[in-house]
């Protein structure tokens, strides 16, 4: 028996109080206990000392009343008809309150969660751990609990649908007494009692948990696909940190919210991380729907995190917190999140203390000491510009490297993704060359990659704000290869037809000017000379017009295409314009903002590809 031996500092008598789960074994003969009178008879009254322990105090015609609190002495514990009877006697303190209370906890040796096994079904055990989620089902309340070894679930039954232990909250450290049982194939504790630990025990356990979770979250393999890439090597520590944060969120029972740009690059990035996270979620949760409850992936139309998106995301997150006892999510922005345009949304999320990771390759503005403006608003920022690289290393490639660190098992599944991302984003650099070789090893020629990228964009146009998980997985080659080919053919045919229709309307209306400095500028009014509200949208249409002209004139020529609508413009230019003419769309936008503040100019993207509103 364990009692807290807080030696009394005064002369007050000591009275013990059993915690609700205490059993007869926890009683000490001769000691005083506080209880409540539950039944009064002519021969005495019954006093309840815990949920299951009660005793009889024999006295003739007692004056005591049901519900009265009383202090009694344990006189004798003796077997009676196969059970143990507790005989009580009056204590000296009896009804007074002038005594020192000491709580007695049921003394069951703690079982570590990893030691719970099907071999011990039906056994009564005690576990201690931190509550990481509380779910109210239509039946019991389910507490997800972890200690330093593992996670398990405890069901608390009362009336179906009634929240048990309303005083307990996520993050509380508790002791759970109960029986080991099985629920849909997983171990679950049928709890008899759940109580908070006292402060010392709580702190000790918290420390153990922190240490072990931290270790478990550490990515095992942080290699990158292109070891010789200087930029990747420089970004590696940050990618590893991002991987650890994501693994940690899974272990902490926090949901992960991925937002990515709705183009081929962004979707490759989002799906790569999704492929890495989902298997870990299935492993770590007893909730069959964990992969839906704890992971969300949504495309963003703009190449930045919009206020419109963050407001939705925050509302859902706060609702989940309120309704399902979920912790606030970890926000992961891919191919999105690095620019000045992201500040509004990210500072909005920061108000709620939402942790965020950005993996992007859009121009982040001025870099100083490896930091840019957005570093003030996010926790981890991965961007090639921060280490002397540029947007040619795509977000898709970076996210594939990240995914491999989160879960090395997916590496072999997504090796061709950086190739798709590069072709989709028209990226060119030594890393891209290597990624294209790797994709070729996986059976994807450049043409194949182009097809996949085009089809991803085509589907994304129609999916709008849906993530299209199943269809995208097929297009990206994660599932049935035959079906992939069939689908690509169907979509390509449709996409080509629509692009052709757009080009037919646009090409004859392109106005070309030649500047003295040798630049060829093509202008197009997409409002007048392109079909509206159809695929390809103005941005893509400009891309196709530009590509067609560049194809004829040569990639090494300084060619710029500017398409404008009533309140927007889209710019595409060859790399020469950036390299030899020092052109950067983002700087142009900043200048316009300074010089014509009343225009409310906004936008951005890459140096030579982006939009202006």
Residues that bind Mn ion (CB under 5 A): 265, 335, 395, 425
Q: Pick between residue 35 and residue 337 the one whose CB is nearest to Mn ion.
A: 337
487 contacts 455 by C-beta, under 8 angstroms: yes
Q: Pick between residue 87 and residue 425 the one whose CB is nearest to Mn ion.
A: 425
Any idea which residue has 């006093």 for tokens? 47
Residue 463 CB burial class (10 angstroms; 0-12, 13-18, ≥19): middle
Minimum distance, C-beta of residue 20 to Mn ion, in the bound complex (Å): 58
How far apart (Å, rounded) are the C-alpha atoms in residues 32 and 50?
A: 14
Q: Pick between residue 304 and residue 583 the one whose CB is nearest to Mn ion.
A: 304
**What is the sign, positive or negative, of the torsion defined by CA atoms of 581, 587, 589, 592?**
negative
Minimum distance, C-beta of residue 427 to Mn ion, in the bound complex (Å): 8
Q: Pick between residue 232 and residue 395 the one whose CB is nearest to Mn ion.
A: 395
Render 115-173 in DSSP notation, one character per residue. Answer: G--GGGTT-EEEEEEEEEEEEE-SSSEEEEEE-SS-EEEEEE-SSTTPPS-TT--TT-E
For residue 204, what are its two tokens? 């000790």
Minimum distance, C-beta of residue 392 to Mn ion, in the bound complex (Å): 10
Minimum distance, C-beta of residue 362 to Mn ion, in the bound complex (Å): 7
Q: Pick between residue 140 and residue 299 the one whose CB is nearest to Mn ion.
A: 299
**Strand partners for 173:** 130
Minimum distance, C-beta of residue 520 to Mn ion, in the bound complex (Å): 25
How far apart (Å, rounded) are the C-alpha atoms in residues 375 and 243?
A: 18
For residue 604, what are its two tokens? 């951005």
Q: Pick between residue 253 and residue 536 the one whose CB is nearest to Mn ion.
A: 536
Q: Pick between residue 130 and residue 607 the one whose CB is nearest to Mn ion.
A: 607
Q: Pick between residue 150 and residue 335 the one whose CB is nearest to Mn ion.
A: 335
Minimum distance, C-beta of residue 396 to Mn ion, in the bound complex (Å): 7
Q: Pick between residue 172 and residue 425 the one whose CB is nearest to Mn ion.
A: 425
Helices (H), 185-295: 199-217, 230-251, 264-284, 290-293
Minimum distance, C-beta of residue 135 to Mn ion, in the bound complex (Å): 38
Instruction: Locate the DSSP E strands across 496-600.
Output: 511-514, 520-525, 559-564, 569-573
Minimum distance, C-beta of residue 138 to Mn ion, in the bound complex (Å): 44
Q: Pick between residue 425 and residue 448 the one whose CB is nearest to Mn ion.
A: 425
Minimum distance, C-beta of residue 395 to Mn ion, in the bound complex (Å): 5
Angle 455-280-188 (CA atoms, 0-180°, nearest 5)?
A: 135
419 contacts 397 by C-beta, under 8 angstroms: no
How far apart (Å, rounded) are the C-alpha atoms in residues 476 and 600?
A: 39
User: Which residue from 423, 401, 397 is spatially nearest to 410, judged by alpha carbons?
Assistant: 401
Residue 559 CB burial class (10 angstroms; 0-12, 13-18, ≥19): buried
User: For residue 326, what are the CA distances in angstroms to 135, 170, 244?
Assistant: 9, 8, 20
In the three-class reduction of DSSP (H, G, I as helix; E, B as strand; rest coil), residue 347 is classed as helix
Q: Phi then psi for 14, rounded to 5 degrees?
A: -95, 130
9-15-21-24 Cα dihedral, nearest 10 degrees: 120
Minimum distance, C-beta of residue 222 to Mn ion, in the bound complex (Å): 23
Minimum distance, C-beta of residue 360 to Mn ion, in the bound complex (Å): 8
User: Which residue from 259, 258, 252 is spatially nearest to 281, judged by alpha carbons?
Assistant: 252
Any idea which residue has 């898709």 for tokens? 396
For residue 573, what are its two tokens? 């230019």
Q: Pick between residue 175 and residue 335 the one whose CB is nearest to Mn ion.
A: 335
Q: Pick between residue 148 and residue 457 the one whose CB is nearest to Mn ion.
A: 457
Q: Pick between residue 150 and residue 425 the one whose CB is nearest to Mn ion.
A: 425
How far apart (Å, rounded) are the C-alpha atoms in residues 59 and 38?
A: 15
How far apart (Å, rounded) are the C-alpha atoms in residues 378 and 512?
A: 43
Instruction: List the strands of the sheet with 603-606, edge to edge.
Output: 511-514, 520-525, 559-564, 569-573, 609-612, 603-606
How far apart (Å, rounded) are the C-alpha atoms in residues 493 and 498?
A: 9
Residue nearest to Mn ion (CB): 265
Minimum distance, C-beta of residue 589 to Mn ion, in the bound complex (Å): 18
Q: Pick between residue 274 and residue 335 the one whose CB is nearest to Mn ion.
A: 335
DSSP H/E element including 193: strand 186-196
Q: Pick between residue 335 and residue 607 the one whose CB is nearest to Mn ion.
A: 335
């Amino acid at each position: 028996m364990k009692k807290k031996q807080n030696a009394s500092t005064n002369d007050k008598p000591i009275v013990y109080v059993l915690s609700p789960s205490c059993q007869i074994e926890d009683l000490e003969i001769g000691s005083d206990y506080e209880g409540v009178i539950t039944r009064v008879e002519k021969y005495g009254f019954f006093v309840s000392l815990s949920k299951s322990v009660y005793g009889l105090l024999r006295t003739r015609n007692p004056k005591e009343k049901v519900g009265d609190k009383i202090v009694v002495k344990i006189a004798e514990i003796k077997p009676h008809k196969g059970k143990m009877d507790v005989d009580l006697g009056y204590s000296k303190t009896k009804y007074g309150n002038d005594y020192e209370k000491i709580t007695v906890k049921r003394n069951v040796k703690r079982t570590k969660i990893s030691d719970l096994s099907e071999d011990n079904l039906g056994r009564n055990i005690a576990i201690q751990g931190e509550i990481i989620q509380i779910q109210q089902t239509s039946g019991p309340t389910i507490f997800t609990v972890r200690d330093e070894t593992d996670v398990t679930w405890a069901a608390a039954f009362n009336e179906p649908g009634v929240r048990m232990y309303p005083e307990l909250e996520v993050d509380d450290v508790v002791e759970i007494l109960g029986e080991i049982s099985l629920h849909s194939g997983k171990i679950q504790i049928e709890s008899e009692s759940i109580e908070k630990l006292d402060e010392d025990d709580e702190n000790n356990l918290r420390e153990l948990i922190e240490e072990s979770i931290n270790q478990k979250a550490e990515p095992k393999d942080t290699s990158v696909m292109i070891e010789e890439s200087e930029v990747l090597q420089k970004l590696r520590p940050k990618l590893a940190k991002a991987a650890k944060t994501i693994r940690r969120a899974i272990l902490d029972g926090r949901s992960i919210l991925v937002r990515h740009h709705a183009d081929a690059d962004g979707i490759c990035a989002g799906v790569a991380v999704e492929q890495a996270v989902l298997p870990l979620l299935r492993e770590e949760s007893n909730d069959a729907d964990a992969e839906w409850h704890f992971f969300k992936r949504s495309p963003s139309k703009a190449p930045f995190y919009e206020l419109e998106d963050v407001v939705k995301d925050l509302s859902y997150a706060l609702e989940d917190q309120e309704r399902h006892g979920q912790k606030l999510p970890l926000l992961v922005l891919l191919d999105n999140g690095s620019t000045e345009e992201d500040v509004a949304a990210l500072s909005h999320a920061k108000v709620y203390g939402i942790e965020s990771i950005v993996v992007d390759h859009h121009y982040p503005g001025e870099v100083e000491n490896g930091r840019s403006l957005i570093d003030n608003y996010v926790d981890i920022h991965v961007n090639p510009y921060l280490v002397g690289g540029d947007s040619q290393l795509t977000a898709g490639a970076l996210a594939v490297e990240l995914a491999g660190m989160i879960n090395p098992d997916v590496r072999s599944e997504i090796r061709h993704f950086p190739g798709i991302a590069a072709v989709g984003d028209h990226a060119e650099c030594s890393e891209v060359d290597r990624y294209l070789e790797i994709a070729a090893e996986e059976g994807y020629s450049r043409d194949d990659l182009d097809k996949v990228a085009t089809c991803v964009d085509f589907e994304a146009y129609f999916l709008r704000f849906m993530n299209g998980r199943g269809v995208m997985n097929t297009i990206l080659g994660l599932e049935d290869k035959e079906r992939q080919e069939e689908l690509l053919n169907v979509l390509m045919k449709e996409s080509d037809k629509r692009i052709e229709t757009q080009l037919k309307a646009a090409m004859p209306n392109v106005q070309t000017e030649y500047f003295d400095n040798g630049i060829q500028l093509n202008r197009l009014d997409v409002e007048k000379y392109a079909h509206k509200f159809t695929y390809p949208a103005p941005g893509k249409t400009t891309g196709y017009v530009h590509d067609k002209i560049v194809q004829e004139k040569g990639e090494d020529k300084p060619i710029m295409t500017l398409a404008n609508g009533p309140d927007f413009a889209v710019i595409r230019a060859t790399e020469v314009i950036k390299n030899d003419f020092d052109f950067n769309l983002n700087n142009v936008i900043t200048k316009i903002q300074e010089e014509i503040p009343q225009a409310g100019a906004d936008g951005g993207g890459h140096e030579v590809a982006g939009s202006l509103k």
